[in-house]
Chain A
Amino acid sequence: MDQPLLSLDHVTLRYEHGIQALDDVSLNIAAGERICVLGPNGSGKSTLASILCGLLAPDEGTVELLGERVFDEQGIDFEAYRRVRRSLGLVFQNPDDQIVTSVVEEDIAFGPENLGVPSDEIGVRVARELHRVALDRYAKADPNNLSGGQKQRVAIAGALAMEPQVLVLDEPGALLDVRGRRGIMRVMDQLHEAGTTIVHVTHFMEEALAADRVVVLAKGRLVLEGKPAEVFSHGNKLTELGLEEPFCARLAEALRAKGVNIPWTCDEGELLASLSRTAAAGTPSKDPREVDCSTMSGGSDNPSERSESAIRSTGLTYSYGDTDAREARHPALDDVSFAIPRGSFTTIVGQTGSGKSTLVRLLCALETPDAGRLVVEGIDTSDRRRRRQLHGRIGYVMQHPERQLFAETVLEDVAYGPTNLRLPPAEIERRCANALAQVGLTGREQASPFHLSGGQQRLCALAGILAMEPDVLVLDEPMAGLDPHGRTQLRDIIARINAQGTTVVQVTHSMNDAATSQQVIVLNEGKLLMQGAPEEVFTADTRDALHTSGLGLPDALTWALRLEANGLAGLGSPLTLGALVDALVAEASPAPEPEEVSARGL
């Protein structure tokens, strides 16, 4: 093999306060390789990305980038760093921070200008990269008017226009919706084909399947390394690290645990093939048995049968005034009617710009509707005099709620809400203690909220809202940017709060999350597209309608439909992994053929 393009040898890096960000990491990356870096929050992924793109030098070890030795026991070679950095591109999480001008094409030209590229050549590169990321039409647009996914593609084009030998992407999809992430993955596939070396840091295990090699970090150490299939076969180890395997691998594993004889795999095609084979070998006559849906979804009882609604909306309409360049061709919300039963768990889904966030702002009485009525807990949100009272009963968890933290200690921050409600000190104390216990931050009362980890900051912000003991809790994409462990933790906390009787309304990008709620509200271009129990909203019949609105089906149902297309009928409409496994087991068990099984054992 040729000399590696990037090479780290026993690299260690400590931050202040003695935190070990990287601990004795050795890694070689060859030209043209596509590497995926996985790991829980705080495992050192971003630090590794910074070192690989020449923005950070370690404390110990040797770093060779593009054949130049930039760091060794003699220290940092600043000149070498300056040279190699010109050929190393970086794209990271927040697209807003990476765009430096207010015209898309000028922004893409910024990097080449810094490199001193001649002006004719810059024009060629800008046009080429705009085309590559499919933004030709937006050359003159203001990035502020683009969606998150489009902005991130501008950032990628800006990096590519510098013609880097290596492109490092540090969680480029963390703040994007499904469609935005898909767009980024498409660009990456193209680049990989064209031979660009890619280092991709991500929290989404599905995305790692496309890599040539996967590297897993934990607490600054490199703990697993290999082809995706090899790494994901260490299911237990990944779970221990707070990561999870791709859906396909989890499905295969769960089926094997139930005694279905298929080889373990994380390749979708392979699993599909072996399941179809099992089916062909199994029941010869496939009488499609109706699978009882109600036993499958998490929320069993029908919410519409419950007595009262916590929220009732009739003909809700709202549009933003003529707010400058953001052209809204339709009102943000247009004649939206629904009811949310008290104590239920409702999810709101819809792609960026569908009106989700507007609906949330109206629900929280931060805005009053132009037309229609919105009654929350018996109070009309347009009643300005009772607004204060209403704010005491609805808890609003904004997107990235850690942004609301301001106080010197965690306790002070959490007490902000209850103090505003003018509660007696003893009550405030009780509520704060309670809220912190609910999110698992007991004992951190005196810490500064700004010294908490990212995941803990979010929990602290959530505690600040729980301390107001709201009857209705509204969450706007609470899982965005969290690692799988953080997502699971937060999901459990929200479920517990809901079980205690609080009505929960959650905006989400994840159809899997929506599938486990009791009611789903689907918005598209400001209109109510669908509403109902997940079993009603997610079906084979609604797939196309959801797809045109930029949404999809839960993974389990997608798989069930795909298996059905491969001749495996009678699976019903499972919405969760567990339900899909049960349906498959039920389908496979009637006619087990012992000979066949032993012949195809691993």
Chain B
Amino acid sequence: MAFRISLGSYVPADSVLHRLDPRSKIVCGLAIMVSVFFIRTPLQLAFGWLVALGLVLMSHLPTGKVLSSIKPVIMVLLVLSVFNLLLVNTGTTLVAAGPLRITTGGLWAAVNYSLRLVVAVIAATLILLTTTPTQLTDAFDALMSPLTRIGLPGHEIAMVFSLMLRFIPTIADEASAILDAQTARGGALAEGSLVDRVRSVIPIVIALLASSLRHANGLSRALDARCYEGGATRSHWHPLELHARDGVAVAFTCVYVVALLALGGL
């Protein structure tokens, strides 16, 4: 419970983003994420944000849900901003106090680097929140099919990824229960020398490892019982199918990227 992480797990809703084919969703999302690194001017930033917010609205997700999913990343970005503010010294000086100098360049870097990354984070979060793990697996499976063709386990990698998403909360609960139990037995984490600290982690890590193995054992029995035999013979409840809307989505993404780059040249 202490460890409960909100890892952008699927939130059902009825929206275009939910209905989009996961493959086109991932490709478009990646394009948007890469494009933010070309944002240099305030106009570009405003455009990027406009599109990101538009996408949030289109997703029909509760805003709180999106916010709570990106909150942890925002914290990191804030720290990053402070560094940018203090370390980038281009442009005219605004404030100077001893060795510290805040310049216009620093201010812009602090604002731009963080805000443009938020756009990327929003894009990534929307993919996770609007796509079921099964769809994600299928999409990865499809996108990795070139790997399968050259003999790499594309489908299996996708399946492992999906199981990982599924088991993170379970293992996190387990970890917190074991941590409780060992704390109650007087085992204190963060105390004493480095050696002491490493030693104090052992009772938790070993117990958690044993627990995970127990889960792995159970899971393998379940996969056998449900006749999972890898990708070849499987059918799909919702087979991936490209619709007109996927074409539209890809087209819009292209237009967005081109427009963004063009705005940079103005």
Query: Which residues in A have their C-beta under 8 angstroms from that of B224?
Result: 55, 85
Q: Which of B19-27, B43-51, B227-235, B243-251 contacts A (4 or more CB under 8 A)?
A: B227-235
CA distance A93 to B132 in the complex (A): 26
B132, B133, B186, B233: the one contacting A116 at CB < 8 Å is B233
Interface size class of B (residues with CB under 8 A): 35 or more
B4 at the interface (CB under 8 A from A): yes
Most buried by A among B183, B222, B238: B222
Chain A: minimal CB distance from B161 (Å): 12
Residues 161-204 of B contacting A (Cβ, < 8 Å)? 162-163, 165-166, 169-170, 174, 177-178, 180-188, 202-204
CA distance A97 to B221 in the complex (A): 9
Given A102-B165, A102-B166, A113-B234, check contact A391 B186 (CB 8 Å): yes
CA distance A325 to B12 in the complex (A): 12
CB <8 Å contact, B177 and A366: no
CA distance A464 to B233 in the complex (A): 49
B78 at the interface (CB under 8 A from A): no
- Majority secondary structure of chain B interface residues (helix, strand, loop or mixed): helix
Query: Which residues in B have their C-beta under 8 angstroms from that of A115?
Result: 227, 235
CA distance A159 to B132 in the complex (A): 21
B92 at the interface (CB under 8 A from A): no
Residues 455-494 of A contacting B (Cβ, < 8 Å)? 464-465, 468
B90 at the interface (CB under 8 A from A): no
Q: Which of A104-112, A504-512, A514-522 contacts B (4 or more CB under 8 A)?
A: A104-112
A94, A416, A465: the one contacting B218 at CB < 8 Å is A94
Query: Which residues in B have their C-beta under 8 angstroms from that of A468?
Result: 185-186
Given A406-B206, A417-B185, check contact A53 B225 (CB 8 Å): yes
A271 at the interface (CB under 8 A from B): no
CA distance A114 to B159 in the complex (A): 13
Given A90-B225, A324-B6, check contact A119 B183 (CB 8 Å): no
CB <8 Å contact, A114 and B234: yes
Minimal Cβ-Cβ distance residue in A for B185 = A417
Chain B: minimal CB distance from A473 (Å): 11
Query: Which residues in A have their C-beta under 8 angstroms from that of B204?
Result: 406
B239 at the interface (CB under 8 A from A): yes
CA distance A487 to B94 in the complex (A): 74
Residues 395-412 of A contacting B (Cβ, < 8 Å)? 395-396, 398-399, 401, 403-407
A370 at the interface (CB under 8 A from B): no
Minimal Cβ-Cβ distance residue in A for B232 = A116
Given A96-B215, A114-B228, A162-B226, check contact A450 B237 (CB 8 Å): no
CB <8 Å contact, B132 and A394: no
Residue tally, chain A, CB below 8 Å to B: 70
Given A144-B170, A162-B226, A324-B68, check contact A101 B133 (CB 8 Å): yes
B95 at the interface (CB under 8 A from A): no
Query: Which residues in A have their C-beta under 8 angstroms from that of B202?
Result: 406
Residues of A within 8 A of B (CB): 50, 53, 55, 85-86, 89-90, 92-94, 96-103, 106, 109-119, 122-123, 126, 140, 142, 144, 158-159, 162, 320, 322-326, 361, 364, 366, 388, 391-392, 394-396, 398-399, 401, 403-407, 416-417, 420-421, 450, 464-465, 468
Told that A114-B229, A403-B181, A420-B185 touch, could you supply 20 new A-B pairs with CB distance under 8 A?
A55-B225, A92-B221, A92-B225, A96-B218, A98-B218, A98-B222, A100-B222, A126-B237, A142-B9, A320-B1, A323-B4, A324-B6, A325-B9, A361-B180, A388-B188, A396-B185, A398-B184, A401-B181, A403-B207, A464-B185
6 A-B pairs, CB-CB below 8 angstroms? Answer: A96-B215, A103-B10, A109-B237, A404-B182, A406-B204, A416-B185
Residues of B within 8 A of A (CB): 1, 4-6, 9-10, 12, 68, 132-134, 162-163, 165-166, 169-170, 174, 177-178, 180-188, 202-204, 206-207, 210-211, 215, 217-219, 221-229, 233-239
